[in-house]
Structure formats: structure tokens, C-alpha cells
Chains A and B, each alone.
Chain A
Amino acid sequence: MNPMRLLILLAMLLSSSSSYAEQIPDSKIDLQKSALFLEAQAAYDGGDYAKAIDLYKKLVEGGVANLAVEYNLANAYFKNGNLSDAVAHYRRAEYAAPRDPDIRANLRFALNAAGATEPYSSLIKRFLGTLSQNEWIMVAIGAYVIFTLLLFLGLLIRPAKRTLTKLSLLPAAILLISAGGWWHWQQLYTQPEWVVIKSGTTALFGPIEGSTAHYKVPLAALVRQRSTDAKGWIEIQYDGKNGWVKIDDIHRVSP
């Protein structure tokens, strides 16, 4: 079996098994949320995207953290012509569900509609980005439990000690990879992603007004922060090039 599939399966198993421990939500509040959601969907279908945005936003502001709300809100923004917010919400949805083909397709579509390049990722980063941070943590926990279990059995069943110890290397390796996956997502806190919200934004060579223009960044482009300046400038990387933009021209996407 493909090791990636194995990892995904393990993550899904763990997340499904742990879902039993979830608290049962208050059904009355849930009904209200469902009503809002359906109302937003109806507004969207009726072409009233502004209303759909309001309703979805109401859900988000009410503490709802469902992927579907984030995705649908992004769709409503896109339809309403607000590419920057659409890209931001698609990307946030992608953080939670990196393998969701709908999110990926719509994000790509929105970026292309904006004329922006898709963020470049190396092969390793693409691999580490296959699972979300939560999923990597679940995989790590699973690997840790299996690792300790195998070692425990190795101590208990003496004749099988060598085989079980060797076998424990596999979960140990998965544990290490999971640490890498966790670290990959943790980078979003130290080098967050931003979306360009101002048309005609130009990245400059230096963090100073009047510095030489380096390149233009399209509206709704996703850029990665490299460093910051105390005077409200952010050094960004876009399409492999670094440049400085004002913090007012961009909006943070990463958590």
C-alpha cells in the first residue's frame, strides 16, 4: 500500500474513533445554525451574494469553524467579485482540508482569475502539506501508541523481541515524519501568508517610501511573509521574488 494512503487511513481512523468523545451539541443552537446556513445558501442560489456573505459571516463570527462555511463564504465572495477575500477564505479552508479537491480547484480558479501565481511548494513541502496539522498530530499520536505497544510486547514476549523492536522502527519513522508535518504547518505562524487587498500594489526593494519599485503584485495574490519592519512594512515573497509592501496593502490569511 502507498505509504501516504496508509498515513491518511491512520489519520482518518484515529479522528473517527476519537469523535465518539465529542460532546453532543445543543440541538437548539444547532438548528439556528442550520437555518442560517440554509438561508445563506438560498441567497447564494438567488444571486444575492452580499446577503449570502453576511449570513455566512454571521456563522463564522458566532464561532462556527466548519470547513463548509469557510468554503461557501469564499464562493460567495468570489461571486460577489471580491477576489481577495475569496482567496483568503479558500486558503483558510485549505489549511483545514488540504486534500479537498473542491477547495483546491476553486482556489486555483480564483488565483487565475486574479492573474496571480499559485504559491510555489517544493516536493517535500507538498508531501508535508498533504495532511493538515491536526491530522499530522493524530498520526503522530497513533504512531506513538503503536511504537510503545510494540516495544511493550517486545519486552513481554521475549522470543519476538527482536522482530517487534525492528517493527517499531516503522512507527518511529512515521513519528518523525509527523513531526516534520507539524513543523511545516507551524511555519504559518512564523512566516504567515497574506493576500493582497489593494489593486496596483507594488513590491519595493526597500522598506521605505520612495524606494525603487521591484515588481507588481496582482490583487488577491497569495504572498508569504519573509520578515517585517517596525514601521509597518512586510517583506514578502511572491513568484520567487522578495520585496517590501505596506501592511495596509495586504491582509493576513494564516492563523
Chain B
Amino acid sequence: MRNPLKIRILIAASLLLMASTFAADVRMSIEPQLISLLDRAVLKIEFIDTQGNAARIPEIEGLRIQYQGQRSETRFVNLKRSSKVIHTYLVTPSKVGDFTIGPITCTYKGGQKEVTAQLRVIKPEDDPKAQQISEMLFSHISTDRTAPYVHEPFHLDLKVYIRDGVQIDGNFSLRGGIPKSGMKGDLEWNITSKEQVERDGIIFTVYTLRTLAKTLTAGTFTFRPEVQLNVIIPRQDRRSYGFDDPFFGDFFGRQETRPIVLDCNALEVTVLPVPMELRPASYTGGVGTFGFQVGLGPKQVKAGEPITLKMKISGKGNLNQITPPTFEADPNFKLYEARIIPSKNPNEIIFEQVIIPISDSVTNIPKIAFSYFNTQTADFRTLTQGPFPIHVEAMPQQAAQIIATVPSSIRQETEILGRDIIYLKPIPKKWKTSVALAKYRTKPFYIALAFPALLLLAMAGLSAHRNALANNVARARRQKAPKAARKNLRRAEHALRKKDETAFYGELWDTLTTYFGHRLNLAPGEITLSIVLARLPQQAEAIESLFNTIEQRRYGIQSGGEKKAMKNLLKQTTTTLRQCERVK
């Protein structure tokens, strides 16, 4: 190894090995590579030891490729680190054949690579004839009216064909394919039948879904609903894709469901407008085929009394868009607005109208015409009822009752409300002006309004403080200390004025013990000079001097009878305690 050439070769080899360990690469794989028409495969593009975005896979006829997402993997093998970014795609076939996916250009840090994958799609085992999914599962839409009129209801029938042998989970969902504008409301589909039919020698189970459609405008409407159903595929002979497979079967992996959107023909419905020409004056918007009946009662009334007309329109068409037939203006009648009476029969609409003959010369109620556009014959039809003979007696010589119908849907009966409106209100005691601010909108009121809240806040603060002191004796005593000291000092001053030396020194001593007892939260027996000095070292010298002087003079060890000396001591005590108070 001493040969320098050998060492160089070894280093170069090691570097090459390391370089090869971290060489970036892109791979594409499809699992499994052989599937049946009802199956699907998972395509993966792996960026090894590099980073790369999902590649855009071109459309391939007969295959639907959907991107599922990406994940990362990091592995350590023989102390070497290897990382992968894996992009997953779900491949769903719609016809049999051999397919080549790619070449796809994958761009990564430091380069580009073209990758390809092969997939073979074969016929399902139990259906060797089918070449495409659309031969096994498809739908067909049709209508009973190829050219309906605006507002005319027409049926749409959607037949879902499922080849015999293909299992579905029984749920259909319809998504899209219905015109978004011009339709009246959302279509509500109902399964009306399930039957087995033979078509080109193949047996299909056919579900028929039906809905009633209505358009608000004329024009061409294209219907191509997308029916999605879930096909159940047994899994026992299939290879599991593990966690890469975005769809799992049942818990034990015996079967899985695959959502399939069925092919459907496009149905074009040309909706015709209701013609304007030859439109009768009594046309009230009806489109369809209708019957018209009118009933009234009572037929014998006094002038000013109401007669109720009931107009029933029945048949097929846009019943709920028909406005009530109108009377021609007749000065002999007072007419009220007609209103709809709820009916249990969905194929009829009933209007009720109150009509009041105001003269006893009236002998009949004029004929009532209802015109509609007949969609079967493509022309306007007018149905007429009446005239209706009535007997009207003269009005008695008294104020006419004011009668009105209560139009609420709850109370349909004709009701006598009263003879007249309630009389005027008396003159107000005070005149209010609209410009005057409401009392609660004035500035003083706002200020007054804040007062209770502020009071409550202050009280809450005080209470919190009180509670804090009650729960913290040391703090409470600390706060009490200066006040207690001042009280004792005042007593000492009093004693000084009386020249009572014993009492003076006694009060001074009490001042010290009380202050320091409270200040340092000490029990009376615990207040000693050493403890006080230990706790308040900042003022040690002054405190010690004060303690000693007062104690000596108190017990007569030191002379202190002079008033000036006493005054000085009082001053010294006050100063020292004040300084102690400043110590935190």
C-alpha cells in the first residue's frame, strides 16, 4: 500500500463507488401488467435519489389515467442512504388491447429521462365477447315529447343497461349532463322498473329511471346524464397491490368495488315557445291539456252580500303557473282578488274568488273564460263556463256590512270582521318630534350607562384585592406595617409632649416590634435584632443602632432624659423606618 499509484487507484475507485451509490435515476413501472377489462392497474414513476414533479401523461384511447398523489421513501442499506419520490397513477381500461404508456419525459435535478410502460388488457373471464366497457355497461336517455312547449312538463326516461353477470352494488348516482339554466328546479329521478331484456343476443338487466322536466325558456336543451355505478369485482384470483392500490375491497380482500361512469347518448330536446299570435285575451299562462269547472254559492243573495266562486282547472300541464281566470270589468260587481285553495289532487288547481253584486238589478254572473295553450293540438283553446243565474234582492236600508275574505291559508272561511274601521285616536298629551333623539341615544345617557359597569369593575377590583389579602397573611401584614408604625409613633410623640420618658421609649420599642413584626411577618416572640438584620441587611447599621439605643434608654442603661435627645431619637426612628419602607 505504500505505492502511491495503488493508493490513487483505490481512492478513485472509492469515489466512483460513492458516486454510483448516489446516481439519480427515474423508473416507471405498472402493476400488474396484465389485467382484465373490469380491473385496473397502478402506474408508478419513481425518482431515485433525486427530486421530480409528477409527469403529465398523454391521453391514451381506451385507458383513463388518474394521478393519485406522491410519497417519499428513505432506506438505509449497508450504511448507505437511498431515497425515492414515488408518483402514483391509477390506470382504468375501457377496452381490451395492448397499450404502451409513454415515452414520458421525466425531468429531475440534473437531467431528463424518457420512460415507458406496457399494459395488456384482456376480456373478463366470464364475458369473453365484450371488447369494451361500453358494451357491458351503458345508459340511454329518451323522452315522450320531442318538441315540448315552454312550461309543458315532459318525461325523461333513463335506461341503465348492465350486462348479465356484472355485479353492481345497487347504487346509482347521476352527475352532470343536465342543462344548468332554463330548467325549472332540479330533476328528481325515480327508479320505475327493473327488467331483463335481450339485445343483440346478450341479456342485460335494465333499470329505468324517470323524471318530469319542465323548462322556463324556449330553445334546444341537451341531456346527457352521467350515471355512475359501482361494479363489484371478485379478487380471489387477482394479485393484491398492497397499500399502493387506492381502492381496497371488503375487509377480507375478497372483493372490491370500482366506480364506473357509463356512456350515454345525447338527447336534444327542442322546446318551443308558446306562440304570441292568436293568443286570446283570457289566456292566463296555461300550457298543457286542461279541463275547467266553475261552481258558485250562494245563488240567492242581497245586494252587497258576497258570492263565492270556485274555479277548478284540472289536467296535465303547468298548473302552478296558471294565474286565475279574470272577469271582464262590470260596474255591477265588486271583485276581490282570487286566491288558491289547497287541493290534495296534484293534477288540479282551485281558485276561490269573492264577488259582490252591488245592485239588485243583477240577474246573473257573466260567463268566465279560461284559455290555455293545448300542447297536443298546438293551438289555443278557450273553455267557457256560465253565465250563472243568481237572484239578488235589494239591499236593506242600513249600513252595508263590510265583508272580506281572510286570505290566510289557515282560515279559508269568509268572515265578517266588523262594520268599519276603529275611530280616530284623541289628541296626544305631548307632541313628539321625529328629529328629537331617543332618550337612550343622548350623550349623558351613554355616560350614565357606563357608570354601573365601572362601579362593578371597581368593586370587583376591590373585592379581588380583599380576597388576595385574606389569602396572603404576609402580604396583608406587610401592608399593615407602616400604618401600625405611624400609630405607635403618634403615641410616642404624645408621650414626648407629656415628657413621659418611660412611655416614650416603650412606644418607640413597640413601634419597632410592631413594624418589623408586620413587615417581616414574624410572631411577637420571633422579633429579634438578629432576625431583623438578616432579613433587612440594607439598613442593618441604622436598625441595629436604633434597636440598641432604644433598648438601652428604655432600661436606663443609657441616659436619654433630655427632650432634644428624645426628639432626635424619634426623628431617627421615623427616618429609619421610612428607609426600611423603601426596601423592597
B463: chain A residues within 8 A (beta carbon)? 155
A79, A114, A155, A239 interface centre (most CB from chain B within 10 Å): A155
Q: Is the interface of B mostly helix, strand, loop or mixed?
A: loop
CA distance A57 to B156 in the complex (A): 60
A216 nearest in chain B by CB position:
B323
Q: Decide if B187 is an interface residue (CB 8 Å cutoff).
A: no
Which of A1-9, A36-44, A123-131 contacts the other chain? A36-44
CB interface residues, B 384-424, toward A, < 8 Å:
402, 404-409, 417-418, 421-424
CA distance A37 to B432 in the complex (A): 13
Q: Decide if A183 is an interface residue (CB 8 Å cutoff).
A: no
Q: Are B459 and A155 in contact (CB under 8 A)?
A: yes
A113: chain B residues within 8 A (beta carbon)? 402, 404
Q: Are B425 and A102 in contact (CB under 8 A)?
A: yes
Q: Decide if A249 is an interface residue (CB 8 Å cutoff).
A: no
A30: chain B residues within 8 A (beta carbon)? 431
A38: chain B residues within 8 A (beta carbon)? 427
Q: Decide if B456 is an interface residue (CB 8 Å cutoff).
A: yes
CA distance A137 to B440 in the complex (A): 8
Q: Decide if B557 is an interface residue (CB 8 Å cutoff).
A: no
A234: chain B residues within 8 A (beta carbon)? none
Q: Are A21 and B439 in contact (CB under 8 A)?
A: yes
CB interface residues, A 1-53, toward B, < 8 Å:
18, 21-23, 25, 29-30, 33-34, 37-38, 41, 44
CA distance A66 to B462 in the complex (A): 48
Q: Decide if A145 is an interface residue (CB 8 Å cutoff).
A: yes
How many chain B residues sit at the interface, stated as a range, is 35 or more
CA distance A79 to B440 in the complex (A): 37
A23, A115, A116, A205 interface centre (most CB from chain B within 10 Å): A115
How many chain A residues sit at the interface, stated as a range, is 35 or more
Q: Decide if B438 is an interface residue (CB 8 Å cutoff).
A: yes
Q: Decide if B453 is an interface residue (CB 8 Å cutoff).
A: yes
Q: Are A148 and B151 in contact (CB under 8 A)?
A: no
Q: Decide if B498 is an interface residue (CB 8 Å cutoff).
A: no
CA distance A64 to B433 in the complex (A): 5
B418, B426, B432, B453 interface centre (most CB from chain A within 10 Å): B432
CA distance A149 to B406 in the complex (A): 49
Residue among B421, B431, B459, B460 making CB contact with A109, cutoff 8 Å: B421
CA distance A116 to B404 in the complex (A): 10
Q: Are A215 and B459 in contact (CB under 8 A)?
A: no
B456: chain A residues within 8 A (beta carbon)? 148, 151-152, 155
Residue among A41, A64, A78, A134 making CB contact with B434, cutoff 8 Å: A64
- Closest Cβ of chain B to A10, distance in Å, is 14
Q: Decide if A164 is an interface residue (CB 8 Å cutoff).
A: no
Complex interface bits, A54-73 against B, C-beta within 8 A gives 1, otherwise 0: 00000000011111110110
Q: Decide if A108 is an interface residue (CB 8 Å cutoff).
A: yes
Residue among B323, B422, B439, B460 making CB contact with A18, cutoff 8 Å: B439
B21: chain A residues within 8 A (beta carbon)? none
B322 nearest in chain A by CB position:
A213
A240: chain B residues within 8 A (beta carbon)? 409
- Closest Cβ of chain B to A98, distance in Å, is 16
A151: chain B residues within 8 A (beta carbon)? 456
Q: Decide if A141 is an interface residue (CB 8 Å cutoff).
A: yes
Residue among B418, B423, B435, B459 making CB contact with A63, cutoff 8 Å: B435
Q: Are B427 and A34 in contact (CB under 8 A)?
A: yes
B408, B425, B430, B439 interface centre (most CB from chain A within 10 Å): B425
Residue among A25, A63, A72 making CB contact with B430, cutoff 8 Å: A25
Q: Are B418 and A109 in contact (CB under 8 A)?
A: yes
A38-B427, A75-B424, A213-B323 known; A152+B455 contact, CB < 8 A: yes
Q: Decide if A112 is an interface residue (CB 8 Å cutoff).
A: yes
Q: Are A112 and B459 in contact (CB under 8 A)?
A: no
Residue among A63, A78, A205 making CB contact with B216, cutoff 8 Å: A205
CB interface residues, B 427-484, toward A, < 8 Å:
427-428, 430-436, 438-440, 449, 452-453, 455-456, 459-460, 462-463
- Closest Cβ of chain A to B281, distance in Å, is 14
Residue among B216, B404, B427, B435 making CB contact with A112, cutoff 8 Å: B404
CA distance A30 to B463 in the complex (A): 53
- Closest Cβ of chain A to B341, distance in Å, is 13
Q: Are B431 and A33 in contact (CB under 8 A)?
A: yes
A41: chain B residues within 8 A (beta carbon)? 424, 427
- Closest Cβ of chain B to A167, distance in Å, is 15
CA distance A102 to B151 in the complex (A): 46
Residue among B321, B417, B439 making CB contact with A214, cutoff 8 Å: B321
A75-B424, A212-B151, A216-B323 known; A148+B453 contact, CB < 8 A: yes
Q: Decide if A176 is an interface residue (CB 8 Å cutoff).
A: no
A29: chain B residues within 8 A (beta carbon)? 431
- Closest Cβ of chain B to A78, distance in Å, is 6
Residue among A37, A102, A145, A205 making CB contact with B452, cutoff 8 Å: A145
A170: chain B residues within 8 A (beta carbon)? none
Residue among A23, A68, A156 making CB contact with B427, cutoff 8 Å: A68
Complex interface bits, A87-116 against B, C-beta within 8 A gives 1, otherwise 0: 000000000000000100110111011111
CA distance A33 to B418 in the complex (A): 32
A67-B425, A109-B417 known; A116+B407 contact, CB < 8 A: yes
Complex interface bits, B322-355 against A, C-beta within 8 A gives 1, otherwise 0: 0110000000000011010000000000000010
Q: Are A25 and B431 in contact (CB under 8 A)?
A: yes
Residue among A64, A71, A145, A202 making CB contact with B432, cutoff 8 Å: A64
CA distance A212 to B216 in the complex (A): 8
B427: chain A residues within 8 A (beta carbon)? 34, 37-38, 41, 68
- Closest Cβ of chain B to A62, distance in Å, is 9
A66-B432, A216-B337 known; A144+B452 contact, CB < 8 A: yes
CB interface residues, A 131-174, toward B, < 8 Å:
134, 137-138, 141, 144-145, 148-149, 151-152, 155-156
CA distance A155 to B458 in the complex (A): 11
A80: chain B residues within 8 A (beta carbon)? none
Q: Decide if B285 is an interface residue (CB 8 Å cutoff).
A: yes
Q: Are A102 and B422 in contact (CB under 8 A)?
A: yes
B336, B402, B405 interface centre (most CB from chain A within 10 Å): B336
CA distance A29 to B432 in the complex (A): 12
Q: Are B417 and A213 in contact (CB under 8 A)?
A: no
Contacts A25-B430, A116-B337, A155-B456 known; list 14 others, CB within 8 Å: A21-B439, A41-B424, A65-B434, A66-B431, A72-B424, A105-B421, A108-B417, A115-B405, A134-B438, A138-B440, A152-B452, A152-B459, A155-B463, A213-B285
29 contacts between A and B (CB under 8 A): A18-B439, A25-B430, A29-B431, A37-B428, A44-B424, A72-B424, A72-B425, A79-B421, A105-B418, A109-B421, A112-B405, A112-B417, A115-B405, A120-B408, A141-B449, A144-B452, A148-B456, A149-B452, A151-B456, A155-B462, A202-B323, A212-B151, A212-B321, A214-B321, A216-B323, A216-B324, A216-B337, A239-B407, A240-B409
Q: Chain B interface (Cβ within 8 Å of chain A)? A: 151, 216, 285, 321, 323-324, 336-337, 339, 354, 402, 404-409, 417-418, 421-428, 430-436, 438-440, 449, 452-453, 455-456, 459-460, 462-463
